[in-house]
Amino acid sequence: MSDQLFVKNLSNKQPTKDITSDDIKYKIPKVTSKNKKSVKVNEKVIFSENNIPIIAGPNGVENRKLIFQVAKKIKSLGLNILRGHAYKPLTFPYRSKQYSDTKNEGMNWCDEVKKYFNLTIVTEVTELKYLDRINQTADILQVGTRNMQNFELLRECANTKKPIILKRHFGSSLRDLLGAAEHVLVEGNYKLILCERGISAPHTHRTTSRFILDIQAIAALKELTKFPIISDPSHASFWSNYVPSLAYASIAVGCNGLIIETHPNPSKSAVDPLQPLNFNQLSKVINKSKKLAKFFNKKII
Ligand code: PEP
Ligand code: MN
Residues with C-beta atoms within 5 A of ion ligand 2 = 59
Residue whose CA lies nearest to ligand 1 atom number 9: 145
Residue whose CA lies nearest to ligand 1 atom number 8: 144
Per-residue pLDDT at 5 exceeds 90 = no
Q: Which has the closest alpha carbon to 271: 125, 128, 148, 99?
A: 99
**What is the C-alpha to C-alpha distance for residues 263 and 99, in angstroms, rounded to an integer?**
15
Return the best residue to mutate from 61, 124, 150 for the ligand 1 pocket (most ligand atoms within 8 A of CB).
124
How many whole angstroms from 289 Cα to the centroid of ligand 2? 22
Per-residue pLDDT at 287 exceeds 90 = yes
Q: What is the mean pLDDT of residues 279-294?
A: 98
Q: What is the mean pLDDT of residues 248-269?
A: 97
Residue range 122-145, pLDDT digits in tens: 999 999 999 999 999 999 999 999
Query: What are the helix and strand counts (H, E) for the chain?
Result: 10, 12
Q: What is the mean pLDDT of residues 149-160?
A: 98
Q: What single-letter amino acid sits at 201? A: A
Return the best residue to mutate from 142, 154, 200, 262 for the ligand 1 pocket (most ligand atoms within 8 A of CB).
142
Find the ligand nearest to 126 CA: 1
How many whole angstroms from 25 Cα to the centroid of ligand 1? 31
- Which residues form ligand 1's pocket by a CB distance below 6 Å? 59, 85, 89, 124, 144-146, 167, 197, 232, 235
Residue range 49-92, pLDDT digits in tens: 999 999 999 999 999 999 999 999 999 999 999 998 999 888 88
**What is the C-alpha to C-alpha distance for residues 193 and 37, in angstroms, rounded to an integer?**
10
Q: How far is CA 122 from the centre of its chain?
A: 9
Per-residue pLDDT at 282 exceeds 90 = yes
Q: Which has the closest alpha carbon to 221: 245, 200, 193?
A: 193
Q: Which has the closest alpha carbon to 275: 227, 226, 228, 242?
A: 242
Tell me if residue 120 falls in helix, strand or coil: strand
**What is the C-alpha to C-alpha distance for residues 76 and 79, in angstroms, rounded to an integer?**
8
Find the ligand nearest to 210 CA: 1
Atom number in ligand 1 closest to CA 259: 2
How many whole angstroms from 12 Cα to the centroid of ligand 2? 36
Per-residue pLDDT at 2 exceeds 50 = no
Residue 208: the pLDDT is 67
Residue whose CA lies nearest to ligand 1 atom number 4: 144
Residue 152: the pLDDT is 98
Beta strands in 37-175 (DSSP E): 39-40, 46-47, 51-52, 54-57, 81-83, 120-124, 140-143, 164-167
Per-residue pLDDT at 1 exceeds 50 = no
Per-residue pLDDT at 46 exceeds 90 = yes
Q: What confidence category does residue 280 fall into, taking pLDDT thresholds of 50, 70 and 90?
A: very high
Q: What is the mean pLDDT of residues 38-53?
A: 96
Residue 210: the pLDDT is 82
Atom number in ligand 1 closest to CA 89: 5
Residue 11: the pLDDT is 66
Residue range 177-228, pLDDT digits in tens: 999 999 999 999 999 999 999 999 887 777 667 899 999 999 999 999 999 9
Q: Which residues contact 95 (CB under 8 A, 6 or more apart)?
A: none
Per-residue pLDDT at 15 exceeds 70 = no
